[in-house]
Structure 1
Amino acid sequence: MSPSQPSPEGRAFKAHSLDSKSKVSPSGGDLEGAVAIIIGAGIAGIASAIRLAVKGYEVQVFEANSYPGGKLSEINQQGYRFDAGPSLFTMPQYVDELFDLAGRNPRSEFNYQKLDAICNYFYPDGTVFTAYADEDKLADSIAQSTNTTKASVKHYFANSARIYHITDHVFLQRSLHRLKTYLRWDTVRSILRLSQIDAFRSMHQANQSFFADKRIVQYADRYATYNGSNPYQAPATLNVIPHLEQHFGAYFPDDGMYSITTSLVKLAESLGVKFNYNYPVEEIVLDKLKAKGIKLKDKFVEADIVISNMDVWFTYHKLLKQHPELYPKRILQQERSSSALIFYWGVKKQFEQLGLHNIFFSADYEAEFGAIWKQQTMSADPTVYLNISSKLKPGDAPAGCENWFVMINVPANTGQDWDTLIAAAKKSILAGLSRKLGVCIEQLIETEAILDPRSIESKTSSYQGSLYGTSSNGQLAAFLRHANRSSKIKNLYFCGGSVHPGGGIPLSLLSAKIVSEWVQ
């Protein structure tokens, strides 16, 4: 298993010894503008690099891996290509915006198609329905397959839209940690409507009030997994998530999810950003509570600002380990989001009943989340997400075959016996899919790769392998995420899924936007 390698261009950088007082330009000459260093080439780090380059900064990105993208990477194995991480693409306007800022036509560099059918849902009792992008078609699909009225579906999505309109410009688009955010009239209006964001009951409780059919409650509860949370604990404010998918749509990049990374890296490089791969940062160097640059082994690279795209827990415990007095201890002790176990299977068959996105629900959703969050283990009957990019990008698999990305939600790594758990999960998943699809899946697998919480942590510096930083299982979770700027260290900023506003591609891109607006 090996992620795609970028070209070696941009790997060279200028550095000097720790005792040098000269400042080095990323271009190798005399410094003409302010220098920004970004730690980590995850999607938020790349977006931050683009935004700062457009503002006139000379930008260098230092990445420990030999490839960019962080979780948004790919695997090539025996003729199969897999998008290794995020597989659902929503809010593409945030990617387009980066090209627009640089004065480029997004469609000349990056293209995607809107999905008519977003996801197929399969239930243990044999119920099947398709979630369509068109709300009327979706309501019809649900009403025809379950004991649910179209009116209740419409009411549910109207509630989701209301929460979005109250929270978007305050909680997502701006920093919660700046006074100027609260001096805006639209913020005041949103604050006056906070009672309408449904923060005082759980998602599950809210969804039970919208739907009488337990199958559709389960469908609505699933959206908590979009940010690694538990619908039986997370506030119903998270019912904003369906609006992001249903109203704005779900998409598929023409060249696969990893093309989001490659196209943005190409854009950044065209703006003069230098990517340095295979360069793990050892320390953020401070001078009297001011970030002055980074240390690479015995070398020092000076900068005017430093932006960490590394998980905030590792940023402090690895890069600022010399300064434990500066740790935001309460934030770093918060409950982590869930993680994932992913099997990448090359399958020697095509299945007409499957689409790009497919969900096979467990029989007992509450027990499944109880296993993850209370017992810190895997459910014996997990819900299975199956993504097949070769449905829309046939070259991702050999002729007559499919590339299966098979994922279940699991707890963050706290020392579980993962080898035993993975073996049991594989057996359970294969048995369930074989029974539901009417064929022995194991006999069709000709290649396999596995990603689990341990490898997620080691490959992406995500503490405990959590996918979204901290969980959103509390009423005040949105207010407790780490800010995008340090309150104690001048010129130190943070972006990515472990800080405000949250995890996933859209929110990670918004974290880069917030950082760029904070940086002068």
Structure 2
Amino acid sequence: MKKKIAIIGSGISGLSAACYCAQSGNEVHVFEKQSQPGGRARQFQTTNGYTFDMGPSWYWMPDIIESFFNDFGHRTSDFYDLVALNPQFEMIFNDENISIPKSYEALKALFEDIEKGAGKKLDTFMKAAKFKYEVGMREFVNKPCHSWLEFMSLKIAGSALKLDLLTNFRNYVGHYFSDPKLRTLMEFPVIFLGASPIKIPAMYSLMNYGGYALGTWYPMGGFYQLVLAMQKVAEEQGAYFHFNQNIDQIIVEQGQAKGLIVNGEFQAFDAIIASCDYHHTEILLEPNMRNYSEKYWASRTFAPSCLIYYLGFNERIPNLKHHTLFFENDLDEHIASIYNTKKWPEKPLFYTCCPSKTDPSVAPEGCENLFLLIPLATGLSDSESTREKYLDEMLERIEKHTGTQRLKSKLEYKKSYCVSDFINDYNAYGGNAYGLANTLNQTAVLKPSIKNKHIKNLFYTGQLTVPGPGVPPSIISGTIVAKEVNKLKTSRHEKAI
């Protein structure tokens, strides 16, 4: 029997869940607190001609995204044009800058030039990473993770050693490469998985394959084109979207969610999927109906929050790539400020995205669109004066790298976004930006459950549950929970029996 399903939040996982639930013939309603879809992947436009993606900017693992659209008879090209970036990105060190080329053969040559024998070792590394990617992204991460028994398939069991689940990422990279720059280059993608490379399982070398080997891409018009495409697919399947809708409470009777209080009014549903912050969803329930206590959440290792600046400059900035990583300072020192001392970094690393280098539509002619990001500990105080201090440092380092002067005087648009904004806009626990860290003791079954243990028709999806942070994992998360909800019998169906 067709179910009436509510989805709280229209982030990537919520959009994915909406598509698959509606495809199965259910009546799907998506409730979004903001005035537009996307969650952290929203976009905004300024009155003076700039278009800013607010969150995700790295289009990696293109095959996972393509596969999503294929499930609905589409291709990504039906909705937006993808451009392969060349170079993929540039990494800035004190004494050298390294640009990562689009061509894998050119990447091998680069490694060999930096460290003798590293080109051949990169082949070996990527062969193993490709195996992890194919098994991990096709088999491992697609499980609902109710039990470890789900991983007892012959393919996964036979691949267990090759997945390197018990080896930490730093030691694994060090086995292949000695040069500190190459090691930093290989380690940086896992920072946004939420922990030091010492804490992340080596299985996540799959990210190096999903990025460096499969390429870094950009959807013309901005990353938000993916959000709009997913919304269109969901609507094609029959899903309804409701914006500026705040969820006040989840109404539960006799172990079953009966519906939601939306902007003060009750609406009945057969099943509810929470794509919003997991901890916040639990606050909408009575304490005895929650999966986890406050003590549990306080004990978790969260992926970083961040300080973001959206900047519009009235002239072009030379010598700056679409993606640039400023790694002149020590990686471990910055990581320690996030996970150990939990304070603002004294010598920060940061990332810039300059989409106007690729896409003229995101800035007025002759101008530049720049997105700056510093990963931070969650829970920090983020006053305007602190934000400005770090902006000044980032601009100074960009000036040094690009040979420009007085960049701040050329600003014609500026907006900051930090810990308190993540809390206010997304109800994000501690102001986290990327969910829970993918450490070994927070992997698979050890992540927060996708199903409420006390309420049979309440489910959770997104970056705080399986499989974890990132756009492709969030798409997969929505797929997983939709399958679980589609298997659920409604109370109406049970009564009919």
Q: Does 1:157 align with 2:126?
A: yes
Q: Does 1:215 align with 2:184?
A: no
Q: Which of 297, 301, 326 is residue 332 of structure 1 equivalent to? A: 297
Provide closer, same or farther for how the CA distance between residues 325 and 52 of structure 1 changes in structure 2, counting only shifts above 3 A. closer
- Matching of residues 88-487 of structure 1 within 5 Å: 88-104=58-74, 106-125=76-95, 127-145=96-114, 149-178=118-147, 181-182=150-151, 184-190=153-159, 193=160, 195-317=161-283, 319-320=284-285, 322-324=286-288, 326-329=290-293, 332-333=297-298, 334-413=300-379, 415-440=380-405, 441-487=407-453
Deviation at 1:178, TM superposition (A): 4.9
Deviation at 1:201, TM superposition (A): 4.0
Provide closer, same or farther for how the CA distance between residues 215 and 508 of structure 1 changes in structure 2, counting only shifts above 3 A. same
Q: Which of 12, 20, 23 is residue 54 of structure 1 equivalent to? A: 23
Deviation at 1:209, TM superposition (A): 2.3
RMSD, aligned α-carbons: 2.2
Amino acid at match of 1:377: K
- Is the 1:48–1:512 contact (alpha carbons within 8 Å) kept by the matching residues of 2? yes
- Is the 2:221–2:361 contact (alpha carbons within 8 Å) kept by the matching residues of 1? no
**SS of structure 2 residue aligned to 1:282:** strand
- Is the 2:381–2:419 contact (alpha carbons within 8 Å) kept by the matching residues of 1? no
Amino acid at match of 1:349: E
Structure with more of its chain in helix, by fraction: 2
Deviation at 1:409, TM superposition (A): 0.8
In structure 2, the partner of 1:85 is: 55
Amino acid at match of 2:144: S
Q: Which moved more, 1:388-397 or 1:228-237?
A: 228-237
Q: Which moved more, 1:362-371 or 1:66-75?
A: 362-371
TM-score for the superposition, normalised by structure 1: 0.87
Distance 1:460 1:424 in 2: 25
**SS of structure 2 residue aligned to 1:252:** strand
Deviation at 1:448, TM superposition (A): 0.6
* Deviation >4 Å, runs of 4+: 145-148
Provide closer, same or farther for how the CA distance between residues 145 and 375 of structure 1 changes in structure 2, counting only shifts above 3 A. same
- Is the 1:234–1:475 contact (alpha carbons within 8 Å) kept by the matching residues of 2? no
- Is the 2:195–2:339 contact (alpha carbons within 8 Å) kept by the matching residues of 1? no
Q: Which runs of 5+ in 1 are unaligned?
A: 1-31
Deviation at 1:367, TM superposition (A): 1.1
Q: Which moved more, 1:41-50 or 1:466-475?
A: 466-475
In structure 2, the partner of 1:26 is: none
Distance 1:130 1:361 in 2: 13
**SS of structure 1 residue aligned to 2:41:** coil
- Matching of residues 10-25 of structure 1 within 5 Å: none
- Is the 2:114–2:179 contact (alpha carbons within 8 Å) kept by the matching residues of 1? no
Distance 1:362 1:231 in 2: 18
Distance 2:69 2:33 in 1: 26
**SS of structure 2 residue aligned to 1:488:** coil
Q: Which runs of 5+ in 2 are unaligned?
A: 488-497
Amino acid at match of 2:84: K
Distance 2:436 2:124 in 1: 30
Deviation at 1:475, TM superposition (A): 4.8
- Is the 1:170–1:176 contact (alpha carbons within 8 Å) kept by the matching residues of 2? no
**SS of structure 2 residue aligned to 1:110:** coil
Identity of aligned residues (%): 23
TM-score for the superposition, normalised by structure 2: 0.91
**SS of structure 2 residue aligned to 1:310:** coil
**SS of structure 2 residue aligned to 1:71:** helix
- Is the 1:389–1:403 contact (alpha carbons within 8 Å) kept by the matching residues of 2? yes
Equivalenced residues, count: 482
Deviation at 1:297, TM superposition (A): 4.2
Deviation string 1:443-490 (CA, Å, 9 cap, x unpaired) is 322211111111022112221221222122445534421122223320
